[in-house]
Amino acid sequence: MKYLEEFLKSLGKSWKGSLVSVSEAREVEKNAKKFLSLLAKQEQVKRVTWGWYWIPVKYEDFFDFLEKDKHFKVLQKQTAASVWNGDFIHRDHYTIAVKNRSYGRALEEFAESQEWNVSVEIWDFEKRDYRKIGKFYVESLEETIVDCLKEWAFADAFSALYENYENVDWKRISEHYWERIPGTNVRVGQVLKLGVSLINRETAPDLYVSRRAKIADAFVKRQVEEAAEKVVELG
């Protein structure tokens, strides 16, 4: 019992409120696998999935967990957009990107046990793909806009664009110009061009401010127009 208490105390100094793998816990104690199993039976830690445990603490919300959890992760897509656009559209579904597949599975299992609506994606992101905003790492503005467009989350994309217009790296945006909106023949660049023209901004490159911006697909066009109208109205 004394060994277990000392191990839990030492582990809690670094990992309280966080997920921790057996291999990470072995840095504290070589018998970590055995000790964690015993502590789980005593309900002092919780087994999340194979090779992963949770050192319990109460959270205010999902973002409180994200802050306390020690592993590297990036807020992505609509979740990132909510940071860039000041929560223009509040969503209770969160998308998190991680590099480590094993941690990603543990995060999914833990989120489900807490009844949080979370999607975890494995993303081999580079440093330019994210930045730190406050306490969290967030997908870059340009990647967020493109990802939201490809998720059909046009209002999220346009509001992130609208709120951060002067800081957009248009060259990076243009790298995605010819990518398709899933399920259509419409390109990301076409949607963005029409969106920019509708929110009446003039400082983008000529590629995006054309007044002749057109989308042949009537359904997509209507969705873009409604999203842009909503952003301008509330912006």
53 Cβ contact list (under 8 Å, min separation 6): 19, 20, 21, 22, 25, 36, 39, 40, 45, 46, 47
Report the pLDDT value the prediction gives residue 208, as an integer from 0 to 100.
60
Report the pLDDT value the prediction gives residue 234, as an integer from 0 to 100.
82
Report the pLDDT value the prediction gives residue 118, as an integer from 0 to 100.
97
Do residues 89 and 34 make contact, with C-beta atoms less than 8 angstroms apart?
A: no
Report the pLDDT value the prediction gives residue 202, as an integer from 0 to 100.
60
Q: How far apart are CA 10 and CA 89, in angstroms?
A: 42
**Measured between alpha carbons, how far apart are the two ends of the chain, in Å?**
60
Q: How far apart are CA 60 and CA 116, in angstroms?
A: 12
* DSSP string of 137-174, one letter each residue: EEE-HHHHHHHHHHTT-HHHHHHHHHHTGGG--HHHHH
Residues found in the chain: 235
What the block records as the tokens of 63 is 């973002």
Do residues 74 and 123 make contact, with C-beta atoms less than 8 angstroms apart?
A: yes
Q: How far apart are CA 188 and CA 145, in angstroms?
A: 10
Residue 72, classed as helix, strand or coil, is coil
With residue 33 as reference, give the H or E element that holds it.
helix 32-41
pLDDT in tens, 35-61: 999 999 999 999 999 999 999 999 999
Q: DSSP letter at 21?
A: E
Query: pTM value?
Result: 0.89
Do residues 164 and 141 make contact, with C-beta atoms less than 8 angstroms apart?
A: yes
Report the pLDDT value the prediction gives residue 200, as an integer from 0 to 100.
72
Residues of the chain with pLDDT under 70: 201-212, 235
Residue 41, classed as helix, strand or coil, is helix
Q: Across-strand partners of 139?
A: 130
Do residues 94 and 62 make contact, with C-beta atoms less than 8 angstroms apart?
A: yes
In which order are the strands placed within the sheet that holds 52-54? Answer: 19-21, 52-54, 46-49
Do residues 178 and 187 make contact, with C-beta atoms less than 8 angstroms apart?
A: yes
Report the pLDDT value the prediction gives residue 3, as an integer from 0 to 100.
87
Report the pLDDT value the prediction gives residue 207, as an integer from 0 to 100.
59
